[in-house]
Structures are given as C-alpha cells and as structure tokens.
Chains A and B, each alone.
Chain A
Amino acid sequence: MTDISKYETHEYDVLIIGAGGAGLRAAIEALAQGARVAVVSKSLLGKAHTVMAEGGIAAAMANVDKADNWKTHFRDTMNGGKRLNNWRMAQLHAQEAPDRVRELEQWGALFDRTSDGEILQRAFGGHSFKRLCHVGDRTGLEMIRTLQDRGVQQGFDVFMECTIIRLLTSDGRISGAFGYWREQGRFVVFRAKAIVIATGGIGKAYRVTSNSWEYTGDGMALAYEAGADLQDMEFVQFHPTGMVWPPGVQGILVTEAVRGEGGILRNKNGERFMEKYDPKRMELSTRDVVARSIYTEVKEGRGSEHGGAFLDISHKPAEYVKKKLPSMYHQFKELADVDITKGPMEVGPTCHYMMGGIRVEAETAQASVPGLFAAGEAAAGLHGANRLGGNSLSDLLVFGRRAGLSATQHAKSTAHGVIDQQQIAEAEREMLAPFDRSPGENPYSVHRDLQEVMQNLVGIFRTEEDMTKALNELEKLKARAAHVRVEGSRMFNPGWHLARDLKSMLTVSEAVTRSALARKESRGAHSRIDFPGYDEQWGRQNNVTSREAGVMKLRQVPVKELPDDLKQLLAEEATLGAAK
C-alpha cells in the first residue's frame, strides 16, 4: 500500500488542467467565485496553443455589420456543424460571446479598431457577417496574455511544466489528480473537489498537424479512463491551409484570415477552383469543404509542385498585407523564402482541431463523472460535425467561464473525497516501468508509426477498409507502446514524457477510428468515400464512447431536439442567405 505522505501534496477546491484560453478563463471565474484554484500546465504559462489562434474571436457585436446578432451567429454555427451540435451550447455561445470579448477589453486587451473607435471585426469562413474581433493575425496571443495577466493579478497558483497522468476518484466521483513535475520527474498529488479539463486537442496523433507536442489528447483520455463519456470523436478538423513546404514546416498553420482579407485559392493551372466546389461562398466556405477541395485538386493532379494549392493575397497592397497579416508575412519570408506580398503561398490541409471530446452538459460543462468538468477543445458539443473559424476562441471564453463557475458551485457543495492510494500506486508503477525494460523500443518510433496510421488511414477521406486496417494497426501499436524503453534519468526527459503521452494518443486514436467506422455517412469533417452523402438517421445521432470493464464501447445517443423557436430560426436561413 502506498503512503501518500511520501508525495508532495496540494489541496484545492478546483483544479484546472490546462492553461490555454479555456483553462485560464475557468480559473479566473473560479477565483472570482471565491474558490481556491490551481492551474496545472504541461508547458510554461502563456505558451499554450491558444497563442497559435490567429484570425480572431467570433462574437456578434455588430460593430461592422449592423445586421449581425446572436441568432445569425447561432444559425451559422449550427449550419457549419451540420446540425449535429448541441443546440443549447450553440445558443449560449452565440449569446454570451460579445460579453466575453468586452470583458477581455476591460482587462486590458487591445483589439484593432473601427474608424469610430469600436472593436474591428473581419469576415471568416461560414460566418454570414464580419464577426471576428481581432488583433492583426495574433489574436490568440492577445487573448492568452490578457487572461494570464488577469489571473496573475487575482493570484492563482500555477503549476508549470507539470503533467497529470491520472484522475483520482472515490465512489465514482472526482477526488483529485496525480501527476509529475517535468523538471525533476517527481510525483505530485492534488486533492480537489472539482476538476476542469481544458487540455485541448489530439493533433499530435497525426503526422501533418498545426498542433504542438502538447496536444496528445491527455484530458480526453484521462476523463475516459475515469469513466466519463466521449462524444463525436470522428470529427477531426483538417484546416485547409497549412504550410506544405519546406518539409520542416509542413502543417504549420496559415491563418484563415488570409482568405478573410481576400486571399484567393488557385490550382497549378491558375484556376480559382472553389468556383467548382462552393460558387457562392468561394474561399470563405466552411473549413471541411475547402480542405476537401484542396485535397481533391491535388489528388487529381492539379496541385502545386509540393502537393498543395496556391493561396494568393499579393493583389492587395503590400503595406495592407503586412499590417493585417504580419505573422504570415514573417512566417513565409523566414521559413519558406516566399514574400506573400509578391507571390502566392503553397498550402494544404493540416490536422488542426478536434470537434469531439468529453461529453458535457451545456449550461454547466459538467461531464458524466461527478466533479469533472470540461471546456474548450477538450469538450464536445458546440461545434457538431465541423467548427467555424473564430468559434474556438469564443468557445474557450464562454465555456471556460461556465466550467469555472459550475466547478466552484460543485466544490462549495461537497467535501473532499478520499484519495485512493491504489490508484496512485498503479499510475506510478506504470509511469516508471519504461525505465526498467531492457530491451525495449524507442517511444519516438512508435509515435511516428502511429502518426502514419492516423494520417493515411483515418484522414480527410475515409473508407471501411482503411479504418478496419487502422484498428488492427492500433492494436499492434498499443502492444508496442506497452513495451517502450526510456533512456536516461527522470529529469526533464522528453522521451519518458512521450512514452506516457503515447498512451493517451492511442486511446483517442482508437475512439476516433471506432466512431468514424461506425458513422456510415459523410457529414462535416467526416468524409466517407464509401458513404458519400448525408444519412438522415445518422444526422440525428451522436456517437458516444465510454469504457466498460476496460474495453472501449461505442453507442449512439439521439441529438437533442431543438425547441420550436430555434427550429424556426434555422428555417429562416433560406431568406437570409448563408454568406455575404
């Protein structure tokens, strides 16, 4: 029996795992509600993937297009998600986003301005109006710095470079978490009455991705192992425009703001190919459509030299491009020797975002395990089958705040649970095992193979044959991952860290593959070559993944029925048109 007094132990009302936009917003709210709060972060504070969000925060503030309002934003979000969204989340999101943006401004954020001194908004794919509040093409940095400063001012505790490897439960509810400090490799126990998972996505399971090393599906896998339901795991967003050349930068994001500011996509013959795929919305079609269009052009032999499409903004004045897209200008100049004010960029799809995740209740962000909450990319529901650009940053703010609020309310109504020493002992044993194996495989080679499997077999276009093969491959990879060997010591050892992250990646990859195999239709980001059209039956169901007796189970749950007033709202679409 493990004696927990041998571990560094901390006690909080609310523990937040993840320090991106959702985690920080949750922490700020929990602090404001009087909770004792800690934020645990795999990286240093301020480095989370939120900084990579470039284009803006979607909020119907109507500063530029006066006709915009929450109803239109709601409708755009539901249509972008192919109606598989949790309607209540989409409604709350559209209604609350403007207040969340104003709040950022009151905490010191400096957005770009309209000529009459309001927050400037730009056009984006799938949004009917100019809706994205932004700061050039570095909106995410502005947001994370603002939240970081606010949290520091309020005095939250931050555990930087600390990774959680197990959620602790007693009697089926959350009692804490167990993790390790990356620096020294020492273990640490958190006792907490409520936990908010805000760990982001799963991009690192794919070879070509915009995501950093952190996005290994930890939060989803931890929640799943603790008994929570996952939902919509088949919906992985491939952002249409990642860099394709040179090889080292493949996958790095090229913001949708390039298209928002008037960028044009062409194939190698100079044809503006979006005319074929979505003549109405062209480059500002939804991401699923644009990504598939580029993929198809390349596959049919009309791609660029390095297997992408050309994205051109050079028809705009050079000074304008440098002002509105400064990061893109520098990124291409320094990494690809391309001056985007003079010529086109080469772009292609990159694994960017996970619409699926932990199944939560709309109002409270509560998962199916008592005391467990989730927000941001780690949670499912808001975006349905496809997320609109700009809806992620607003998601982080709206549901980060709600998760922080509900977690605090939960913590206030409950006592600390018992820490199960058995759970800690198990997690510790498993974590240390790779040091004792000899011989054993290098975790990096298992990771590379996993990325190939997901990239090639469960990518943009999917078939039953490929995915059945993927499931077999995943089984083999699981066996290999259980036998990896780690060299060196426990001190800041990335190979060791990856050995643990592999386990999470394999769990979420299996959930993605099983859900994608089950959904026999094409919808949003999920495209089946063997089932190319919509299926009405599937359009009314969410795939839900859970663990039963150690085995992954999939079941279908009906999508929540819309109330009549919102049904009416969606029906009005035809009269208003989808895009301006």
Chain B
Amino acid sequence: MAEAILEVFRGDRESGGAKQYSVPIAPGMVVLDALHYVQGHLEPDLAVRWNCKAGKCGSCSAEVNGRPRLTCKTRMDSLPQDKPITVYPMKSFPVIKDLVTDVSWNYRVNKKIPAFAPKPDAKWKMYQEDVERGQEFRKCIECFLCQNVCHVLRDHNKKEEFGGPRFFVRTAALEMHPLDSRNRARLLKDELGIGYCNITKCCTEVCPEEIHITDNAIIPLKERVVDEFYDPILKLVRKIRGAPKPD
C-alpha cells in the first residue's frame, strides 16, 4: 500500500516542533483521515478539532502545505506525494496544543455586533431575490480561515481594533436583511475597524463556502461607512432633513 509522510506540528504554547508520521494512503483519503490514522494507531494524544467531516461545521481548519484549508476537504491525492505533507495550526491564533488553537477571540468579537432587530411594522413577507444576498453570507461555517489569512490579523495582529472578514460577513448579513432596522455603520468604523481592510481578497480566496467576502460584504459595507461619515453632501442633507444617525 502506498504511504505518505505527514509532518505535523506537535507542541503547545511554550514549545514544540514538527514530527513526521508515515500514513497508508487509501483512495479518496483526505488530510483529516490521515490525522485520524495517526491518532488511532500511532499517537492517541494528537490534538485536532473536527466534527462533521463533510465541510459543514468548520472545525478542522489548519495550514496544509502552508495553505489555510479545511483538512476534511483537502484530498491527499491533490498534494504532491514526493515530499512530506505539512500540517500546522492556524498561525493567527495562539496554539493550545498540536493543531488546536485558541479561537475564543472570535467569539468575543461576535458579541459586539448588535443582533437582528426587525422593523416594528414587519409583515414577514420576503421574496427570494431579497433574501439571496443575506443567504450567501449565512452560508458561513465559522471555520475562521478568512480570519487566519487576513494580514491585518496575521501579520499585524490588530485584534483589538479590527473585527476581521468573518464579522464583516456577519454584519453584512444583518445589514442586508430585508427586515432589519438597525444601522451598524459606527460599529463597522469604530469597533470593527473596517478601514484597516485594503481589499487584498485573501479572505475570499480561502473561503471554503465560496462566499464573495470582499466584493459582496466588505466593499458595500465600506461604502456605507463612507456615506455615513465622510460624504459632505449627504451629511448636509441629513442635517437639514434630520435623518437618523447610526447606532
């Protein structure tokens, strides 16, 4: 039976390094299968998060051959077999152990976003064409690969000032909900620091759900922020008409 060499990060916050394992290859095998093989036969304490194993829960994110991926959707036969396949934890989050990282920061950011608040006179009639954009964003499985790859977080570690692509997607879903009544422009500008994003589209590239994060979520939100805070004409119109200010 053919074998592959898997090079996996083993260690914790303090120390660690790469360790190689020889894994038998079966047809259609994915990287997560290989990790399970290591766990089940070689090292039972190898720490790896996973749940659905079908690309629907977003638990098994890691960096395979340097690329952020869901290990359950990364086929071994899509990777070169003549050298070790490297599997490392997501770089933008602190390592807990092996491939498991501390992603709790994401849950803290999420709490800052005001939830859906329906218009008081909502009739609950919505048409497919009106919900489609929101549905695109709600496909997000919270794998945090977009957060991991975003240079504002990965290279500059702006976790205090910047929310990251995942939470622009969530905010966009709320803002573009046909019946939502809130305005989250100030949140986007001040709390989530959307201005830091310089639309390099790395997030869009790694999204396993193929959400057009930059084009459909971030850019329209940036436009909203500009309209709200930086457009002198609109500002004047608003002053005269007394239109509501963002929350």
Could you tell me which A residues sit within 8 Å of B by CB distance?
A: 43-49, 51-52, 102, 105-108, 110-113, 115-118, 135-136, 138, 141-142, 145, 149-150, 152-153, 160, 183, 212-214, 245-249, 252-253, 327, 330-331, 334-337, 442-445, 448, 486-489, 491-496, 498
> Is there contact, CB below 8 Å, between B115 and A110?
no
> Is there contact, CB below 8 Å, between B39 and A494?
yes
Known: A106-B118, A248-B26. 12 other contacts (CB 8 A): A48-B51, A105-B124, A110-B135, A111-B131, A115-B127, A117-B126, A138-B139, A248-B33, A334-B75, A448-B40, A492-B100, A494-B39
Instruction: Give residues 37-54 of B contacting A (CB, 8 Å).
Output: 39-41, 43-54
Q: Which residue of A lies closest to B34 (CB)?
A: A248
28 A-B residue pairs with CB within 8 Å: A43-B51, A51-B57, A51-B141, A52-B56, A106-B124, A110-B138, A110-B177, A117-B126, A135-B138, A141-B141, A145-B138, A212-B50, A212-B57, A246-B27, A249-B28, A249-B54, A330-B55, A334-B55, A335-B54, A335-B75, A336-B28, A448-B40, A486-B44, A487-B44, A489-B45, A493-B47, A494-B48, A495-B44
Q: Is B148 in the interface zone, CB < 8 Å from A? A: no
Query: Across the interface, which residues of B come within 8 angstroms of A331, CB to CB?
Result: 54-55
> Is there contact, CB below 8 Å, between A253 and B54?
yes
Docked pose: A44 CA to B28 CA in angstroms: 28
> Is there contact, CB below 8 Å, between A487 and B73?
no
A112, A150, A252, A444: the one contacting B53 at CB < 8 Å is: A252
Docked pose: A445 CA to B58 CA in angstroms: 27
Cβ distance A207 to chain B, nearest Cβ, rounded Å = 13
Query: Across the interface, which residues of B come within 8 angstroms of A107, CB to CB?
Result: 115-116
A51, A245, A335: the one contacting B52 at CB < 8 Å is: A51
Q: Is B214 in the interface zone, CB < 8 Å from A? A: no
Query: Across the interface, which residues of B come within 8 angstroms of A253, CB to CB?
Result: 54
> Is there contact, CB below 8 Å, between B56 and A444?
no
Q: Which residue of A lies closest to B73 (CB)?
A: A334
> Is there contact, CB below 8 Å, between B107 and A47?
no
Given contacts A102-B124, A248-B30, A448-B40, contact A335 B47 (CB under 8 A): no
Given contacts A44-B49, A51-B141, A248-B30, contact A108 B44 (CB under 8 A): no
Closest 6 CB pairs of A and B: A246-B28, A495-B44, A488-B45, A108-B116, A117-B125, A153-B115
Q: Is B59 in the interface zone, CB < 8 Å from A? A: yes
Q: Is B12 in the interface zone, CB < 8 Å from A? A: yes
B28, B98, B125: the one contacting A492 at CB < 8 Å is: B98
> Is there contact, CB below 8 Å, between A327 and B56?
yes
Q: Which residue of B lies closest to A248 (CB)?
A: B33
Docked pose: A135 CA to B138 CA in angstroms: 10
A108, A117, A486, A491: the one contacting B115 at CB < 8 Å is: A108
> Is there contact, CB below 8 Å, between B116 and A149?
yes
> Is there contact, CB below 8 Å, between A444 and B39?
yes
Q: Is B202 in the interface zone, CB < 8 Å from A? A: no
Cβ distance A68 to chain B, nearest Cβ, rounded Å = 19
Docked pose: A46 CA to B142 CA in angstroms: 8
Docked pose: A213 CA to B177 CA in angstroms: 35
Docked pose: A498 CA to B45 CA in angstroms: 10
> Is there contact, CB below 8 Å, between B47 and A47?
no
Interface bits B129-155 vs A (CB < 8 Å: 1, else 0): 001001100110110000000000000
Given contacts A138-B56, A444-B40, contact A247 B141 (CB under 8 A): no
Q: Which residue of A lies closest to B116 (CB)?
A: A108
Interface bits B14-46 vs A (CB < 8 Å: 1, else 0): 000000000000111110010000011101111
Cβ distance A351 to chain B, nearest Cβ, rounded Å = 14
Cβ distance A564 to chain B, nearest Cβ, rounded Å = 37
Query: Across the interface, which residues of B come within 8 angstroms of A108, CB to CB?
Result: 115-116, 174, 177, 180
Q: Which residue of A lies closest to B27 (CB)?
A: A246
> Is there contact, CB below 8 Å, between A487 and B45?
yes
Docked pose: A491 CA to B45 CA in angstroms: 9
Given contacts A46-B142, A138-B56, A247-B27, contact A495 B128 (CB under 8 A): no
Docked pose: A47 CA to B61 CA in angstroms: 13
Cβ distance A450 to chain B, nearest Cβ, rounded Å = 13
